[in-house]
Amino acid sequence: MIITVASGKGGTGKTTIATNLARTIAQKGEGENQHPIWLIDCDVEEPNSALFIHPVFEEEKNVERLFPIVDQDACIGCGKCVDVCAYNALALVADKILFFKELCHYCGSCALSCPEDAIQEKAETIGVLQRGKSDALNFAHGTLEIGFSSATPVIRDLKKWIIADDTPNGDTYILDASPGTACPVVESLKGADFALLVTEPTPFGLHDLALVWELIDKEFQIPTGIVINKSGRGDEIIENFSTEKDVPILMRIPLSRDIAEAYSKGDLLVDAYPQYKDAFIDLYKKIEEITSERQREQ
């Protein structure tokens, strides 16, 4: 089962929910010969789950993509590569090709279109993937290299590296997505069985929750549940949304100075306050119930 934790708005507590949920269910099944539990931090622009999980990394892998190199002497200035580039990464100026690497999506069209074979492609590392363990929990994340702007291919390779195509049903993958609703979030939601949306009871929280819900409703139609973090004042606006869209609220974490202090020290909530373990086990059970119910319906 693949559970993607998303939120729309940043800072609502995606990482708090993803790390505590993953840690709790991995601990619970420890020694019981359970299927592997994975936490995958897909926020490759600012991966921070590792700060709370403290994994020991065992393997590393580079994410590479092919970028064009133009042989200006062989170039005849026909401009075909400029015309085919869908991302405006090339310009033809005074019979020379100018290349803007930060706009390139490494599709290879320019090299294919060149009648003179004046464009070669060279592999460059755009990100690094790492995987390892933290006690019973398997952990992986990716980091986008400095100077590159496109997170999506790093997330794509990270998922391909960890989530095998022939995944046995019992394996659990918890994906910590980046904020927003753009391509990196879409990539993190692809193939997910359940979307767990973390929000806060503020107008901003609601606004961005609605955006990410709309994305899931339009593009994925997977079972979805809400976690209200910093709960206690103004929950009604999220409750109204939950009723209106028929998305259940599965968990609430109160707005509390103690919880914020534990977070600021890099402590997991379930380590600082073990009474929350039951709440996370309960959350996981609800997710399992909802997804298996959906599978039966199909």
What b/e string do you get for 95-122 counting C-beta neighbours within 10 Å, with b at 16 or more?
Answer: eebebeeeebebbebbbebbeeebbeee
Binding other proteins (rule: CB under 8 A), the pick from 92, 163, 211, 237 is 92
For 29-161, where are the E strands, in sequence order? 37-41, 56-70, 90-93, 96-99, 119-134, 137-144
Which residue number, 176 or 187, has a Cβ lying nearer to other proteins? 187
Angle subtended by helix axes 277-297 and 14-28, to nearest 10: 90
Footprint on residues 197-256 left by other proteins (CB under 8 A): none
The only residue of 87, 161, 220, 273 in contact with other proteins, by rule CB under 8 A: 87
In the complex, the smallest distance separating the C-beta of residue 126 from other proteins, rounded to whole angstroms, is 17
CA-nearest of 191, 194, 183, 122 to 154 is 183
Q: Does 93 bind other proteins (CB under 8 A)?
A: yes
CB of 108 to other proteins, least distance (A): 17
Give me the helix-helix angle, 235-245 and 203-219, nearest 10°.
20
Q: Least distance to other proteins from the beta carbon of 114, Å?
A: 18
Q: Does 88 bind other proteins (CB under 8 A)?
A: yes
Q: Is 89 in the site for other proteins (CB under 8 A)?
A: yes
C-beta of residue 149 within 8 angstroms of C-beta of residue 71: no
Query: Of 234, 174, 233, 238, nearest to 6 (Cα)?
Result: 174
Does 91 contact other proteins by CB under 8 A? yes
Q: Does 82 bind other proteins (CB under 8 A)?
A: yes
Strand partners, 140: 40, 131
Nearest CB to other proteins, comparing residues 90 and 238: 90
Alpha carbon dihedral 81, 83, 84, 85, in 10-degree steps, equals: 80
Site for other proteins in 94-153 (CB under 8 A): 94, 96, 98, 100, 103
Nearer to other proteins, 35 or 96 (CB): 96
What is the size of the binding site for other proteins (CB under 8 A)?
Answer: 13
Kindly state the smallest distance separating residue 66's Cβ from other proteins, in Å.
19
Which stretch in 19-27, 51-59, 89-97, 170-178 sits in contact with other proteins by CB under 8 A?
89-97
User: Which residue in 117, 40, 112 sits closest to 76, CA to CA?
Assistant: 117
Min. distance of Cβ 87 from other proteins in angstroms?
6
Q: How many CB atoms lie within 10 A of CB 124?
A: 16
Piece of 2-10, 63-71, 83-91, 120-128 that binds other proteins (CB under 8 A): 83-91
User: Using CB under 8 A as the criterion, which residues of the chain lie in contact with other proteins when the complex forms?
Assistant: 82, 87-94, 96, 98, 100, 103
